[in-house]
Amino acid sequence: MPYKLLFVCLGNICRSPAAENIMNYLLDKENLNGQIVCDSAGTGGYHIGSPPDQRMAIAAASKLGIKLRGSARQLQKSDLEDFDLILAMDRENYQDILVLDRHGKYYEKVQLMCDYCSQHTVEEVPDPYYGGTQGFNYVIDILLDACTGLLQEVK
């Protein structure tokens, strides 16, 4: 059985699909595809079915040469059971995930993404949605750092 990671942000069009695709990029480089599987979701249902934000896609392509794939979906209660580790981009997402876990059965599976950073000292991945290009590039840097640490941990 593969180890399953779920990346969660608010709308599932910026931070979480970027994290999912960056992790897949790292898994590719280490030939771990199939052993670790990634998905992403949003706590809100605003963008269901939408592709990743174009600005995030451009940042990922320019910084890492990767294409962001996926379409937005909303986090489901069943995700708590289905995934081995659920990574929230910020504290608000973290709380929103735990709301689905009424009995506290899965809370140890839910972690903050930035807990896996080694180069960045931020505690949350900032939402770049209302900002400029620099914000999207910064998020890619944070996520690359966090995904690298996460991969070491999961391996």
Residue numbers annotated as active site = 9, 15, 127
**Which residue is it, tokens 């794939």?**
69
Say how many C-beta atoms besides its own lie within 10 A of residue 65's C-beta: 8
Sheet strands side by side (includes 110-112): 36-42, 3-9, 85-88, 110-112
Task: Please give the Cα distance from 88 to 99 (Å, whole number).
Answer: 13
Q: Taking CA 13 as the corner, what is the angle to CA 21 and CA 105, rounded to the nearest 5 degrees? A: 80
Helix 15-29 / helix 54-64 crossing angle, nearest 10 deg: 30
- Classify residue 74 by its DSSP letter: B
